[in-house]
Structure 1
Amino acid sequence: MGVAIRTAGEGDRELVVRLLDEAFQDDPVSGWVFPGAEDRRANHPGLMAAFTDIVLAAGRIDLTEDGSACALWLSMPADDHDAEDDDPAQLRQAVDPDNERIEAIGRLTAAIHPSGRAHEYLWMIGVAPGRQGEGLGTALIESVLDRCDREGLPAYLEASSARSRRLYERLGFELAGPVLDLPEGGPTMWPMWREPRTAQTAS
């Protein structure tokens, strides 16, 4: 049975924010940005809300019909990878002015983002904790990758865990340059790129 997917709108904002907050509470990068559990519970939802607002305005959020998973995508033009950054200093001021890592993560990921070719950027994908492992994330990604293949567009993302990296490799993504080791003992992020598949390469 296929997974029903629709494009989220403004009316889905709170659902998407809650979904991302729950899905990323235990993510290594979220844990680095908000190392204290209490601080994470207090301020992590605000960061997810800021990300949601950016993508609702400038990109597209795909949502499973039952609201259990979502994917945040931005269409990146050639030679422009600053859109996802959205001024990390402003983001920090809006979410948690005392947390330098909110600004740092934006600058660090922008620095490794490939430029020169238009592509689809998977900024975030979140699956409700109780629904992980059911293939919902794969279905969300494949729906966009199918379009990328039809239109000849590459896709890019940063994997934030070894587990997610293995999933993306199965979907055709490959390491796209040096890994990003976050400072102060932080986790590793893997920049990953996928060339579009033609009918010949897909077979």
Structure 2
Amino acid sequence: MGVAIRTAGEEDRELIVRLLDEAFQDDPVSGWVFPGLEDRRAKHPGLMAAFTDIVLAAGRIDVTEDGSACALWLSMPADEGHDDHDAEDEGPAQVREAVDPDNERIETIGRLTAAVHPTGRAHEYLWMIGVAPGRQGEGLGTALIEAVLERCDREGLPAYLEASSARSRELYERLGFEPAGPVLDLPDGPAMWPLWREPRPHRPA
């Protein structure tokens, strides 16, 4: 049975924020950004809201019709970042200021992931994908990703992401992603895996 997917709009903002918050509360990277449980419960939704607003404005959010899973995508042009260093440098600081000015790790993770992000070729960037905790393991995340990867294959576009857990890394590797450089070890924290997928030859139906 297929998974019905639609593009989220501004009216879906609260749904997306709540979904991402629930999906990533216990993620290793979220635990590193907000080490204290009470602090994470209080401030993590604000970080997910900041990410949601960025992608609603500049990218695309796909969501399953039942609201149980979503994927945040940005279309990155070739050589992104080389001609606009000021905007790139300000982004992580602006997110930190909006979410939790005293939390340096919010800015740190933004700068570290930006530093390893490939440039030179246009590609689709999977920023985040979240599945409701009670619906994980049903193939919803795979369906969301494959819908975009099929378009990437048709258009000859690569795709890129950073896996935040060993489990998610295995899923992405099954979908054709491969290491895109050294593992990113967060200071005194978990690892993140930059992964790249070359487009596959498209076979018309």
Using structure 2 for the length normalisation, give the TM-score: 0.95
Take 1:78 and 1:7, find their aligned partners in 2: how far apart are those partners? 24
Instruction: Write the deviation string for residues 1-46 of structure 1: whole angstroms up to 9, x where unpaired.
Output: 1000000000000000000000000000000000000000000000
Counterpart residue number, 2:13: 13
Runs of 4+ displaced beyond 6 Å: 82-86
- Give 1:101's aligned amino acid: R
- Give 2:176's aligned amino acid: G
Q: Report if aligned partners of 1:74, 1:84 keep a CA contact under 8 Å in 2.
A: no
- Give 2:20's aligned amino acid: L
Q: Report if aligned partners of 1:85, 1:106 keep a CA contact under 8 Å in 2.
A: no
Counterpart residue number, 2:2: 2
Counterpart residue number, 2:111: 107
Go from structure 1 to structure 2 and tell me whether the alpha carbon gap of 1:86 and 1:167 turns closer, same or farther (over 3 Å shift): farther
Structure 2 residue ranges without an equivalent (≥5):
none
Counterpart residue number, 2:97: 93
Take 1:182 and 1:147, find their aligned partners in 2: how far apart are those partners? 32
Counterpart mapping for 1:108-123 below 5 A: 108-123=112-127
Percent sequence identity over matched residues? 87
Q: Report if aligned partners of 2:164, 2:191 keep a CA contact under 8 Å in 1.
A: yes
Q: 2:195 aligns with which of 182, 192, 196?
A: 192
Counterpart residue number, 2:24: 24
Counterpart residue number, 1:59: 59
User: SS where residue 26 of structure 1 aligns?
Assistant: coil
- Give 1:182's aligned amino acid: L
Q: Report if aligned partners of 1:79, 1:118 keep a CA contact under 8 Å in 2.
A: yes
CA offset at residue 87 of structure 1? Answer: 1.0
Take 2:67 and 2:107, find their aligned partners in 1: how far apart are those partners? 30
Take 1:108 and 1:178, find their aligned partners in 2: how far apart are those partners? 12
Take 2:170 and 2:111, find their aligned partners in 1: how far apart are those partners? 25
Go from structure 1 to structure 2 and tell me whether the alpha carbon gap of 1:183 and 1:44 turns closer, same or farther (over 3 Å shift): same
Coordinate RMSD, CA, aligned = 1.5
Counterpart mapping for 1:113-192 below 5 A: 113-184=117-188, 186-192=189-195
Q: Report if aligned partners of 1:22, 1:128 keep a CA contact under 8 Å in 2.
A: yes
Take 1:182 and 1:140, find their aligned partners in 2: how far apart are those partners? 27
Take 2:56 and 2:63, find their aligned partners in 1: how far apart are those partners? 12
Q: Report if aligned partners of 2:154, 2:202 keep a CA contact under 8 Å in 1.
A: no
Go from structure 1 to structure 2 and tell me whether the alpha carbon gap of 1:79 and 1:55 turns closer, same or farther (over 3 Å shift): same
CA offset at residue 199 of structure 1? Answer: 3.7
Take 1:38 and 1:121, find their aligned partners in 2: how far apart are those partners? 31
Equivalent pairs, count = 200
